[in-house]
Amino acid sequence: MEEVKKIKEFLKLENKLVLKLRIKPLSPLCIKLSCDDEENDSNSLSAFQTTESGKKIINGSQTKGEKKATEIYKRNGEIYIPGSTLKGLFRDRFLTMYGKLGEKQKKIETDYIKSLFGHIEKNNTENKLTQKSRFFVQDSFLDSEIPEDLKKDKDLESLKFYRELFYTNKRNGVFNREFPKKIIKIRTITPIDHFSSKAKVPLQYEYTMETFSTELIINNAKLQDLQGIYFIIRDSWNKEIRIGNSKTRGFGLIKFEIEDLIYEQFQSKDDNFKAFEAFFEEKDNEEEKLIKFDFSKKLYLKKEFKELYKEDETPNNFIISLFKGGEN
């Protein structure tokens, strides 16, 4: 009966929050290609993750001297940040904020965290009980537009975003840093042996400083869900959030910026966000009219509340109201 109840709760969609975020690297961002070999090959390049499969085409003994990225790896698709990487970040931060202390003073997930991010557990009969996630994160892709001066190149005049370059004859130039705009760069780090104080073999990392964009989707959103997300966004502004590889070497510091916050409420007696409607607005355009349903309302956060802080560096009124539970 408990399983049936959970399935019914999952199928009942009362509301949906969509948060569109920009991800701005504040330090070199490296999301390591998953096909990297497991051997400790410090001469090899730590390549950036791409959407399609990649493989190493030369081994460690052949990488002596400076090599182009396309001479070491064969990659398809474009660089990106996997949604799983971002979801893991949010889950870890929610555990820090809302977890409870277990054995040896270690934080463990509460029922609330499990209901938000999903959970699998075994019961006494060895059957697995699955609790579906309400929290989804899209893969994140490059957000920057190609400037007009680069569009003088006939091969680029029809393109809009940098991410489109990875599907043109310019892709090798992007990976090899031969394209005029250095979307992908290389950083070389020389580790020092703690015992001998001598330099080790240099490590090379592909990284980018370009902006990415992603979407967070929360079904049956609760007030605490959005409060937790805003805490994480605030932490990113305070330079406390890192993702990707080599975080201890200074990589992966990022900042979240709100591009849009969309709230859709379906027919329900309970509306957890009704108290915040003054901070939202409807969009009266043809596209919205085509997808609008009589049984729902779709609201967009007003432009003046998308910036986290006002000019005097105090939180905007929407954030103040959010953490007061809807009080103005």
Listing DSSP states for 285-314 in one string gives SHHHHHH--TTEEEEEE-GGGTSSB-TTSS
Q: Most confidently modeled of 30-34, 67-71, 131-135, 136-140?
A: 136-140
% of the chain with per-residue pLDDT over 70 = 80
Average pLDDT, the chain: 83
Q: Is the pLDDT of residue 41 over 50?
A: no
Q: What are phi and psi of 209, to 5 degrees?
A: -120, 15
Name beta bridge partners: 260.
Answer: 20
Question: How far apart, in whole angstroms, are the C-alpha atoms of residue 32 and residue 207?
Answer: 9
Helices (H), 163-222: 171-175
For the chain, the structural domain boundaries read 2-26+133-140+211-323
**Helices 223-237 & 83-98 angle (0-180, nearest 10):** 100
The whole-number pLDDT of residue 119 equals: 87
Give the H or E element holding residue 86: helix 83-98
The amino acid occupying position 300 is Y
The whole-number pLDDT of residue 38 equals: 47
The whole-number pLDDT of residue 235 equals: 97
- Worst-scoring range by mean pLDDT, 63-67, 179-183, 217-221? 63-67
Give the burial class of 287: count Cβ atoms within 10 A of its Cβ; 0-12 exposed, 13-18 middle, 19 or more buried. Answer: exposed
Question: How far apart, in whole angstroms, are the C-alpha atoms of residue 73 and residue 134?
Answer: 37
Angstrom distances, CA of residue 195 to CA of 166, 180, 188, 190, 192: 44, 43, 22, 15, 9
Instruction: Decide which of 13 and 88 is more confident.
Output: 88
One DSSP character per residue, 211-278 reads -EEEEEEEET--HHHHHHHHHHHHHHHTT--B-SS-GGGT--BEEEEEEEEEEEEES-S--TTGGGGG
Model confidence pLDDT, tens digit, residues 105-123 = 888 899 999 999 998 876 6
Q: Is the pLDDT of residue 60 over 60?
A: no
The whole-number pLDDT of residue 296 equals: 74
Q: Is the pLDDT of residue 274 over 90?
A: no
pTM (2 decimals)? 0.86
